[in-house]
Each structure stands twice: as structure tokens, then as C-alpha cells.
Amino acid sequence: MNGYLLTAGLLATVVSAIHLVGGHVDPVRPLLTSSLADVTKRTLHAVWHMVSVDLLATAATLLALAWWQPAGTELVAALTAARFAGYALVFFVIALRLPGRAALLRLPQWILLAPIAILAGLGAT
């Protein structure tokens, strides 16, 4: 059992739940009731659900890697770490562009994504 990957997988499961529940309230509902064109709204709605699938698939992957440790575990864990580091970086940089104080806390997704990247990276070694 790889404790780092197990913890990353459990955290990814929690992040998936937060995304599905909290994210549906804000920003999905406001998006769907906005004045954007229907195709734009539905495209963004589909992308939202693509992220949901990615988060759930990542959680399942990390948990499976932690438990069974098949051949290629290190590579998959390293690629997952890199992907989540990229996700965290995107949110971090975009949050820095928000006006006002505590900009990094107004778009806090990076705080949840970075630990998954770190734990998956540690589990890859």
C-alpha cells in the first residue's frame, strides 16, 4: 500500500465531492441562468462536467494505484502529479489577477489541487 497515493486519492475524492456539490451552486447555476448564448452556456456546462469526470477518474486511479501498485504506477502517479500541478498553477495565476485583498483566497481551488499534486509526486518515487 502506497500511503501517499492513498492520501492523494482520498483527497481527490473529497475534491470531487466539493466540485460536484459546491460547484453546482456557484458557478454552474449562475452560468446557466446568465444571458450568455445558449451554445456558449451548454459548452461551458459540458466542460464543467468533463472536469467532474476527470476528478472522479483521478480519484479512482490514485486509489487503485495505491492499493494494487501495478507496473507503471510511478509513471501514472508522476503524470497525475504534473497534471494537478498544472491545474493548481492555472488557478493560482488567475487568482492573482483578481482585484482586491486576499485574491488568492477568492479563487481557492489551487489550495485543494496542489496537495494532490504533491502527494501524487511523493507517491511516484
Task: Give the C-alpha distances (Å, rounded to integers) separating 100 from 103, 105, 111.
Answer: 6, 11, 19
Annotated domain spans of the chain = 3-123
Longest dimension (CA), the chain: 50
pTM comes to 0.94
Residue-wise pLDDT for 47-100, tens only, equals 999 999 999 999 999 999 999 999 999 999 999 999 999 999 999 999 999 999
Q: CB–CB of 52/16 below 8 Å? A: yes
Report the 10 Å Cβ neighbour count for 19. Answer: 18
d(CA 120, CA 10): 11
